[in-house]
Amino acid sequence: MKMMIAIIRDNDNDPVSQALVAAGFRVTRIASTGGFLRRGSSTLIIGVENEQVEQAIQILRESTTTAEDANTRRVTLFVINVEHFTQI
């Protein structure tokens, strides 16, 4: 299992979250701020099975808008191994 942490721009939050949920992923959103201009960001935490990582990345690519500035990143993504997962 993997945990994906995706940092996206606020204006991409709804389309990305909706696309991930529609594909059967569970998403937790955390409001965050960062970067040089302190623009609003959202941090999405997504738990996925190993074989679903590429599908989730493709949804992120397709659901984020193109940045106005070519140097602006659309998504900063971390994929972390999860040794153990339990819901209580």
Q: What's residue 45's pLDDT?
A: 97
70 or 44, which is more confident? 44
Q: Evaluate whether 27 touches 21 at the Cβ level (below 8 Å).
A: yes
pLDDT higher than 70, residue 62: yes
> Which residue type is seen at 18?
Q
Q: What's residue 36's pLDDT?
A: 53
pLDDT band at 39 (very low <50, low <70, confident <90, very high): low
- Would you tell me how many other CB atoms lie within 10 Å of the CB of residue 2? 17
CA dist 2 and 7 (Å) reads 16
CA dist 46 and 35 (Å) reads 22
The top-level CATH class assigned to 2-81 is alpha beta
Q: What is the rounded average pLDDT of the residues 28-41?
A: 74
pTM here? 0.85
| Average per-residue pLDDT for the chain | 89
Best-predicted range by mean pLDDT (46-55, 61-70, 71-80)? 46-55
